[in-house]
Structure 1
Amino acid sequence: MAERSPTRLVLSRRDRDAALFDLDGVLTDTARLHAAAWKTLFDEVLRRHAAATGAPFRPFDAIADYRAFVDGRPREDGVRSFLAARGIVLPEGTDSDPPEALTVAALARRKQALFLAALRREGVAPAPGAAALLAALRRAGIAAAVVSASRNGAEVLAAAGLERLVDLCLDGRDAAALGLPGKPAPDTFLEAARRLGGAPARCVVFEDAPAGVEAARRGGFGLIVGVDRDGQAAAMLRGAGAHAVIRTLAEVAVAA
């Protein structure tokens, strides 16, 4: 029998109207698939850049670079953010660019294809403690929402078997349709809180990305919880504004 994680955080309906969750790496195990897809994509770009310029090839770090530059951001923003950090600026391009084109639009689509292939190959599992926490929130009358930059949010949530435990899923496709800027802007979190009828000060946000933590801080959310799934990001999450840092959602309890 698996040992239960110690409780580090207790939520109560008296204090919280809603809980807002990032998806990949918080409610599901898909962050590793995203990181692997980004690594495949960026290493190919960096090799092409090194061959063309004579610069040394320095590969994408699937932990440090992923967290710092792409985690929690819309795909196009992730492309721009990481490549700018390496001194590479690409044209924006269009949706008609071929997959091999070195444009922001083509690379964003290529990353999506890599992620979907990995998703079909490996599947999705809920993160430790996710289903139990969502069920406990529902029993306590605390609404739950997924707020994700991923444009696959609804599909991933359903594949993990969590969709019936969530009151709202606002993902990257919804944000684009509404014209909402992605994290670290607070707009998607604020829209989710508005739809659930919760004041930001009475909502808790669970995020594993510094960009997402910053978005929650800028939105004035009352409790921001960083999820440090690999034990290497606590300082970064606190620096972005997390009030508390946990390793898994199994460390969270809900008061009756």
Structure 2
Amino acid sequence: MIQALIFDMDGTMVDSMPSHAESWLVLGQRHGIRIDLPELMRRTTGRTGLECIRILFERDMADAEALAYVHEKETIYRELFAPKFAEVQGFSAFAEAARARGLHIGVGTAGDKHNIAFAYANLKLRPLPTVAVGGDEGLPGKPEPAIFLEVARRLGVAPAHCIVFEDAPLGIEAARRAGMHAVGIGSGHSAEDLAGPHVLAYARNFTELTDNNFLERHHVAKL
């Protein structure tokens, strides 16, 4: 039986990926770096801030230097996204319905604690997830499974009893490596991009999952 749902944040819970992409371009302009944006997003979406910065600058650097760039980039992102903040359609209602069925809710994201707090402050979801593992906790980013496995550990749920909701191929692969089921959220990728033997469904948003009775088909309510 499925006991827990684990949500990626950017592009899954919140419709933030266009603002993230724009923030990379602004950062590159500030520091004289020409960016192939589709290639950068392909290589970095799901990776931690430190990993992304080292990919962008194409060199190793001390954590302190890389963290300064991460802070700069994520500050730009939050400034860009705040005026147009939006959740991925139907997310809050879906998560609340899952909680009402007795499912545990967790968040596993490459975003740092500041981006998590920013998303939580703007989401209408109540109550908020009690477990969130971010990319600034020293764990390797996706496609490594460490972030998702840590969410499951903190929730007290075996990986095989978890479903991961992800919008990025690296996250879908991380779920597979973690031994978890997955659902592809197509806010930015096709069903083919988010496919795998462990993938239970693909939907453009959570309203589609609700309309298709996803929770009813994959979970027996605890009465």
User: What is the TM-score with the length of structure 2 in the denominator?
Assistant: 0.83
1:60 corresponds to: 36
- Which of these two proteins has the greater Rg computed from alpha carbons? 1
Q: Which amino acid aligns with 1:31?
A: M
Matched, 1:30 2:16: yes
Matched, 1:159 2:122: yes
1:152-202 C-alpha deviation (Å, 9 max, x unpaired): 1133122122251423222234xx2xx322222111111111121211111
Match of 2:109 among 120, 123, 148: 148
| In 2: Cα distance, 1:235 partner to 1:249 partner | 18
3-state secondary structure, aligned to 1:193: helix
The answer to whether the Cα contact below 8 Å between 1:134 and 1:166 also exists between their aligned partners in 2 is no
3-state secondary structure, aligned to 1:238: coil
1:122-163 C-alpha deviation (Å, 9 max, x unpaired): 152221010111111011101111111111113312212225
Deviation (angstroms), 1:105: 4.4
Change (3 A) 1:217 1:39: same
The answer to whether the Cα contact below 8 Å between 2:50 and 2:63 also exists between their aligned partners in 1 is no
Matched, 1:71 2:45: yes
Deviates more, 1:179-188 or 1:238-247: 238-247
| In 1: Cα distance, 2:125 partner to 2:48 partner | 22
Change (3 A) 1:172 1:249: same
Q: Residues 1-256 of structure 1 correspond to what in structure 2 (within 5 A)?
A: 15-42=1-28, 45=31, 48=32, 59-61=35-37, 64-81=38-55, 83=56, 89-93=58-62, 95=64, 104-120=66-82, 122-151=83-112, 152-162=115-125, 164-173=127-136, 176=137, 179-221=138-180, 223-230=181-188, 232-238=189-195, 242-252=199-209, 253=213, 254-255=215-216, 256=221
3-state secondary structure, aligned to 2:58: coil
Percent of residue pairs bearing the same amino acid type = 34
Change (3 A) 1:234 1:209: same
3-state secondary structure, aligned to 1:172: coil
The answer to whether the Cα contact below 8 Å between 1:154 and 1:171 also exists between their aligned partners in 2 is no
Change (3 A) 1:90 1:127: same
The answer to whether the Cα contact below 8 Å between 1:38 and 1:111 also exists between their aligned partners in 2 is yes
Q: CA RMSD in A?
A: 2.4
The answer to whether the Cα contact below 8 Å between 2:148 and 2:174 also exists between their aligned partners in 1 is yes
Q: Which amino acid aligns with 2:79?
A: A
| In 1: Cα distance, 2:151 partner to 2:197 partner | 21
Size of the aligned set, in residue pairs, is 211
Change (3 A) 1:202 1:37: same
The answer to whether the Cα contact below 8 Å between 2:15 and 2:187 also exists between their aligned partners in 1 is no
1:8 corresponds to: none
Change (3 A) 1:239 1:107: farther
The answer to whether the Cα contact below 8 Å between 2:120 and 2:128 also exists between their aligned partners in 1 is no
